[in-house]
Amino acid sequence: MKTIKASLAGAALMLSTLNINAESKGDYFNPLQTAIPSLSIAPDARGGGMGDVGAATSADVNSQYWNPSKYANMENKGGVAISYTPWLREIVSDINLLYLVGYYKLDDRQALSASLRYFSYGEINLSDMPGPSGEVISQGTAKPYEMAIDAAYSRALSQYWSAGVALRFIFSDLMNGVIDEENLSAAKMVAADISAIYNRPFDLSDKRVAKLSIGTNISNIGGKITYDDVTYQFLPTNWKLGFNYEYPVDIYNKFNVSFDLNKLLVPTTPIAPERSDFDTDAEFKEAQEAYRNSLEDYNSYGTVKGMFKSFGDSGGFGEEMKEIVWSLGAEYSYRDMFMARFGYTHENESKGNRKYFAAGVGFKMRVFELNAAYLIAARSNPTCPLNKTLRFSLGFNFDGMKKLVDNSSNAE
């Protein structure tokens, strides 16, 4: 059964980290490896339509994933939203991400927020295996899934600064539906996020006000996770740093330009040596011994030590820079009612090779907001399994709903 578990975990990791068609162009292909990779998938259509940016964009109902501290800057009393993403449609048809989020302003300076994320890997038909007497034993069908529930508190610290903290419960069941689950269990862990944002307005001519925002969020800070009490994996602890500039053309038209940097705060997995890279058996054996020592050190790292090691364990400054994923996005809005978005995300070839463009639209009324996004693989990586990914988000504004109810009551 450990073989089945490893196969399911491997399939989940492969599908979620998108390393299927990457080419290293002469470098070792060595992406950072974590458990629960679905936690790194951007869930909403606004951020998705801008190329997966959101650390410093203007606050909205879906800020929980990007930067919870932004909720302290929301003008409305509260809101809820639901997002749906059919994932990896170029490969399979039954993997999807469902995301539910909401917030409530306690007063002008404080807010509470919460979200539920459910990622389904669909159905996996397990291969039949021979029994002890030669009979064929069916292993059934697995329905693996990953889930996270979190809550956050955000507060305005000053005129320009806001901060937030979040607590998250993570649950991963890669063996759901398997007949024999002996020695196997679902993985559980608690993690935390720490976030902050700086918003600075600038007066322009004609009473226009531009705004520069700098936001950061360290997410999924938690212990290592296991399915069998033998093998332990790091959570996808991630440091996100974002910049956004909001420029009002006039009272009706506005542009936002955003730039995000993402770095996984997990140590680099050691690479096993290959005999073809060495001239003699002695050199190869020495390299094997060094690899075993490095792997032992890697497995011994705790969360905090792993976070610090992640800044200097990949083989030099150049290799560390390759681990940074950058995204650039833009948003145009007309009367804060109609929005058009565009963006691009870039990941180094040896670290995952995700390169894609994104486009999206949004329509906002007093009560609700509807957003959609579409992802297009870059020409340098046309077989990217993320190609043609869609995202849909529907949000509701509590203030707008209350006004609608009040108007209906007055009319009666």
Q: Which residue has the tokens 């990941």?
A: 347
What does the domain layout of the chain look like in residue ranges? 2-129+139-268+310-411
376, 378, 379, 383: CA torsion to nearest 10: -70
Question: Quick one: what percent of the chain has pLDDT higher than 70?
Answer: 86
**Half-sphere exposure at residue 100, Cβ-oriented, CA atoms within 13 angstroms:** 5
Q: What's the rounded mean pLDDT across residues 182-192?
A: 85
Residue 20: pLDDT over 60: no
Digit-coded pLDDT (tens) for 79-130:
999 999 998 887 888 899 999 999 999 999 999 999 999 999 888 776 655 6
Q: Fill in the DSSP letter of residue 87.
A: -
- pLDDT of 181 above 70: no
How would you classify residue 332: left for phi > 0, otherwise alpha for psi between -120 and 50, otherwise beta? beta
CA distance 121 to 9: 11
Q: How confident is the model at residue 397 (pLDDT cuts 50, 70, 90)?
A: very high
DSSP state of 378: -
The Cα 217–Cα 193 span in angstroms is 7
8 A C-beta contact, residue 242 and residue 263: no
pLDDT value at residue 333: 97
Which residue in 156, 151, 155 sits closest to 166, CA to CA?
151
| Helices vs strands, H then E, count in the chain | 7, 20
Per-residue pLDDT tens digits for 343-391: 999 999 888 888 999 999 999 998 999 999 999 988 766 657 778 889 9
Is residue 63 scored above 60 in pLDDT? yes
Is the domain spanning 2-129+139-268+310-411 CATH 1.10.8.60? The answer is no
Give first-to-last CA distance, the chain, whole Å: 65
Q: Count Cβ neighbours within 10 Å for each residue of 364-390 and write b for 16 or more, e otherwise.
A: beeeebebbbbbbbbeebeebbbbebb
Alpha-carbon distance 60 to 103, whole Å? 10
Q: Across residues 49-74, what is the average pLDDT?
A: 97
Mean pLDDT of the region 42-46: 96
Single out the residue of 171, 120, 134, 170 nearest to residue 12, CA to CA: 120
310-337: pLDDT as tens digits: 998 877 788 889 999 999 999 999 999 9
